[in-house]
């Protein structure tokens, strides 16, 4: 565990940093033009650059919850741990942690990386999700995002057994990311087990 502590990645250190991280997420949401206070913060994700650190974190976070799933997505394991006691921060109660094992991409900063929010609309495709986002957040001006340094990425990540499509829009800036999707991670995982 010493290694995680030296890196500032021990769960206790990360939990202490959570309010500041969520403040940065709120500021990014304001820049994007979306207000997330009345939507479910489905899960929080962290990023690390080494397999060893991912293994250590995987074990360390199991002290805080139960492994809901471990699925291969884009060639690497993505672990989801449901918290025994959901994390309460600001307006949100966060049920789960997503821990992707590293790919060949190197992140400039290890630690908290994104929060995914569930928005209404039950979207099954990227087109439907874009419509839901436009209806839910009429102040969002897609054309202005690039000039603010905000990158937008649309994707439809899927595990090998998922039955429920979960298209996602990601808004990224300065090692921070907000993701919007229509189905909770719990619902997607449940669809894998059906």
Q: Alpha-carbon torsion 18, 83, 40, 157, what sign?
A: positive
30 bridge partner residues? none
Taking the domains of the chain in order of start, what are their residue ranges?
Answer: 2-193
pLDDT value for 178: 97
pTM of the model: 0.89
Dihedral, CA of residue 37, residue 9, residue 17 and residue 69, to nearest 10: 20
pLDDT single digits (tens) 71-120: 887 788 999 999 999 999 988 999 999 999 988 888 888 999 999 999 98
Q: Kind of pairing, strands 151-155 and 111-118? A: unpaired
> Which residues in the chain show pLDDT less than 70?
1-2, 157-165, 191-194
pLDDT value for 164: 57
pLDDT value for 65: 97
Q: What is the mean pLDDT of the chain?
A: 89
Q: CA-CA distances (angstroms) from residue 118 to 5, 54, 114? A: 32, 26, 13
Under CATH, to which class is 2-193 assigned? alpha beta
DSSP for 90-154 reads TTEEEEEEEEEPP-SPPPSS-EEEEEEEE-SS---SHHHHHHHHHHH-TT--GGGTGGGT-EEEE
pLDDT value for 75: 82
What is the C-alpha to C-alpha distance for residues 191 and 61, in angstroms, rounded to an integer?
Answer: 24
């Amino acid at each position: 565990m010493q290694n995680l502590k030296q890196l500032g990645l021990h769960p206790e250190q990360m939990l202490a940093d959570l309010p500041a991280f969520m403040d940065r997420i709120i500021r990014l949401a304001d820049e994007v033009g979306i207000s997330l206070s009345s939507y479910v913060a489905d899960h929080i994700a962290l990023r690390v650059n080494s397999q060893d650190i991912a293994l250590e974190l995987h074990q360390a976070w199991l002290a805080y919850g139960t492994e809901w799933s471990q699925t291969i997505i884009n060639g690497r394991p993505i672990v989801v741990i449901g918290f025994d006691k959901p994390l309460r921060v600001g307006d949100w109660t966060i049920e789960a942690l997503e821990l992707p094992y590293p790919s060949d991409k190197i992140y400039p900063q290890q630690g908290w990386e994104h929060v995914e929010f569930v928005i209404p609309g039950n979207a099954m495709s990227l087109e439907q999700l874009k419509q839901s986002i436009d209806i839910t957040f009429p102040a969002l001006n897609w054309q202005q995002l690039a000039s603010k340094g905000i990158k937008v990425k649309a994707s439809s990540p899927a595990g090998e057994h998922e039955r429920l499509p979960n298209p996602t829009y990601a808004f990224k800036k300065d090692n921070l990311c907000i993701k919007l999707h229509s189905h909770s991670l719990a619902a997607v995982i449940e669809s894998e087990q059906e």
